[in-house]
Every structure is written in structure tokens, then in C-alpha cells.
Amino acid sequence: MNTWHLILQEIRGRKQNFISGLLSVILATGVLTGALNSLKLHDLHTQQIIDKKINETEQRMARLQDDYRKIMKKLGFNLLILPREQQVSDLYLEDFSSHTMPESYVDTLAASDIMSIRHLLPSLQQKVFWPEQKRTIILIGTRGEVPLLHRDPKEPILVAVPHGEAVIGYQLAQSLHIKPGDRIQLLGQSFLINRCNEERGSRDDITLWIDLQQAQEMLNKANQINAILALKCHCAGNEIAEIRQQVQDFLPGVKVIEQGSKVVTRAEARDRAAREAREAIAAEKLNRANIRQQQQELFAILVPVVFLGSGIWISLLFLANVRERKSEIGIFTAIGVKSRQIVFLFIGKALIMGAIGALAGYFLGVVIPAFLQNPFMFPAWSMIQLILAFFLALILAGVASWIPAYMASLQDPAAVLREE
């Protein structure tokens, strides 16, 4: 007797019973595979979201950094490089250096490899009497910023004052009724007013800026300057003691003073932009992790419940099948069919049910989550998941059908035939 032939005949003869059990296996393996794929797709989607978020925050960070850079530029320079002989106490009293140093110092500094400073601005400053207007002012000669040779050029904080032109402070312009385009006389020379500064509430309001070379000629200090303004960058290795040492290694005849409040403000602004970017990404990661945790907790309950329910349903189906075939089983036993063949008759049917159900359940468990999360996403097939689904489906169907099959093999054929 061909057992497999009997199994196929049984399936064809009791299609509803077989389909009902098959659907239970499909449901169980589909839920299992769907749960695994949902978590996998969630992780892939999370990575896409995080990558997009990182890209967006990097762009936003760049915009913030640029905005802060523009804001910080208004704060001006935060390092002051002076001649070594200059006493700081005298500097605070006079508000400018009374000693000078060679103008070539700024070129030496620009050619150095110091990475922690930028925006070098040489100047010659002196308090002078303006005879044409009969008042004392602060005269500053500047040639504009000197580019650092080892860095990409940056937008300058202050631009050079063209030769023969002047920039005038707010109070001077207001009190003398001077406006852009006017001509003034200063120490016997004529200057065109290039710009009138807005009110700053500092000594800048009584300051006149002209070309450095012209200031050197007017003050009889050829090729001399008394200050180099610089900007301390917000980066690693920029402690003031270290910067002082770096500068003095190239220029032994200078001293470096830090204007602390501007440094702190600048650093806080840059750090705030970086912190906002990190916090946005961290918040998105936490949100996605919480969603994944909720899905895991749901699947940890759902999958075992579905497997248990499917197993019970398959057992009930096979019990009903054993009762329906009670007389047939008795005849098989009476004509010499062994108990193990009777068991295999039911187990074989269950294994076929499990194999077909595993394939169908795996297919649905892969396609449905992909379609629900992203209809245009190509399903992520996995051989490991397929093997796992196939293995568990066979165990589910085999275990669920074993007890009914074993009960069928223990039936006494004589008792069964007497009942008939």
C-alpha cells in the first residue's frame, strides 16, 4: 500500500479540512515572518530617516553657522597683538598703543602655520588734534585685512579704506554735519568721505579711518604699526597661553591680549548651533527606538498567541478527521497496516500542509509589510527567514497532528468493526 497515495487521496477527499489547517499554518508563519520583516523594514526606514535628518541638520547647521558668523563679525576682533614694550595699564589709559613695531610683522604672521587665528588687521592708531575742526580725534590708519597664506580666504571683518578716502565715526559725522561724498581737510590733506559709521557707543564714534600708508606719512611713522587685530577661531587647541606661545615663536617682540567676552560669545554661538544639530538627531533616534520597542512588545505577544491558536486548531481538525475515518482506520489495521503507517498517514498530511503553508506564509509575511510601509519598496527576501518559517511550520503541523495520529494508531480494529 502506497502511503503517500493515501495521503494525497485524503487531501483531495477532504479539501475543506486540509484548506482550513493550511490557512492556520499560513497565518502562523505569515505573522512570524511579517513581524521579523516589519522590524527589519523599520530599521531600514529608521536609517533612511536618520540619514535624511543628518543631511538636513548639516545643511541647517551650515546656515546657522553662517548666520552666527555674520553676527559674530559684528563683535569684531578678539585678539590684540601689541609691541612687547607696551604696558597694558598705559594701553587702558590711552586706549591705544604708544609704542610701534614693524609693519612686516603682520606679513610674517600671515605666512606662519598658526591655525588658531585668522583675519589679521594691522593698524596705526594715535590720538591727534584736528586743526581744521579744532578738536581731538582718534586717527586709525589701516590697510585692510592680510590674508593667511595657509588658509582659504575668508570674507573680511573690515575692508580696507581706499587711498585718499576716509571712514568717519558717528559722533564726528553728526557734530560736523558730514555725510558720504563730502570732502574734508585733515592735517593739510584732502579726503573723500567713503562712509559714515552707525552709532557704536564706543571710541569708534570719534574715530577717523584712513589708508595705513597715508597715516604713516602724516604721523611720521613710515612702515610702522602699533597693533595687529586678529580673530581667535573656535577650535581645538586655541587656549590663549598656547596662542601666545605660537605667535611669540614667530614674533618674539610682541605680546598677545585676549578680549574675553567676545571670545566667550563667539564660542557659545558656535556651540549652540552644533548642539541643536546633535539634539535633533538624538531626538529622532529616540523616537524611532521607542516605536521599535512598542512593535517588539506587540510581536512578542502576538506571535506566540497565533502559533498556539493555530496549533490547537490543527489538532482539533485532525481529531475530527480521526473520528470521521474511524472505521477506515479499523479496516486498515485489520488487514495488517502497521501502527507507524497509520501515524505517518496523518503526520504526512500535516507535513505537506506545513510545507505549503510555510511558503505561502513567508511570501505574505514579506510582501504585506513592505506594501504597508512603502508600496514602492522592493520586498527584502531572506533565505534565513524562509528556512526558519519552513522549519517552524513543519514543527507546528507535525506536533499538532501527532496526538490525533497516535490516538488513531492505538484503536482496536475489532472494537471499531463491532461498532460498525
Tens digits of residue pLDDT in 320-374: 777 766 666 666 666 656 666 677 777 888 888 889 888 998 888 888 887 776 6
348 part of a folded domain? yes
Q: Does residue 248 sit in the same domain as residue 310?
A: no
| 296 and 397 inside one domain | yes
Residue 268: strand, helix, or coil: helix
Segments forming the whole domain that contains residue 44: 3-59+278-419
What pLDDT score was predicted for residue 267? 53
Claim to verify: residue 128 and residue 165 sit in the same structural domain: yes
Domain presence at residue 66: no
Q: How many domains are there within the chain?
A: 2
What average pLDDT does this structure show over 392-396?
87
Same domain, 101 and 163: yes
Q: Does one domain contain both 119 and 219?
A: yes
| Residue-wise pLDDT tens digits, 143-178 | 866 655 434 444 444 567 889 999 999 999 999 999
| 291 and 159 housed in the same domain | no
pLDDT at 305 over 80: yes
Is 181 among the domain residues?
yes
Greater model confidence, 376 or 288: 288
Please check whether residue 266 lies inside any domain of the structure: no
Same domain, 121 and 21: no
Q: Are residues 38 and 128 in the same domain?
A: no
Q: H helices within 111-257, ranges in order?
A: 170-176, 212-218, 240-250
Helix (H) or strand (E) run with residue 194 in it? strand 189-196
Residue 381's contacts (CB-CB under 8 Å, 6 or more residues apart) are: 366
Regarding whether 404 and 329 lie in a shared domain, the answer is yes
Dihedral sign computed on CA atoms, order 237, 239, 245, 251: positive
One domain for residues 170 and 228: yes
Final residue before a domain boundary, out of 190, 223, 258: 258
pLDDT (average), residues 187-212: 90
Cell of 204: 569708534
Together in a domain, 213 and 254:
yes
Please give the angle made by the CA atoms of 372, 378 and 381, to the nearest 5 degrees.
100
- The predicted model gives 10-19 an average pLDDT of 75
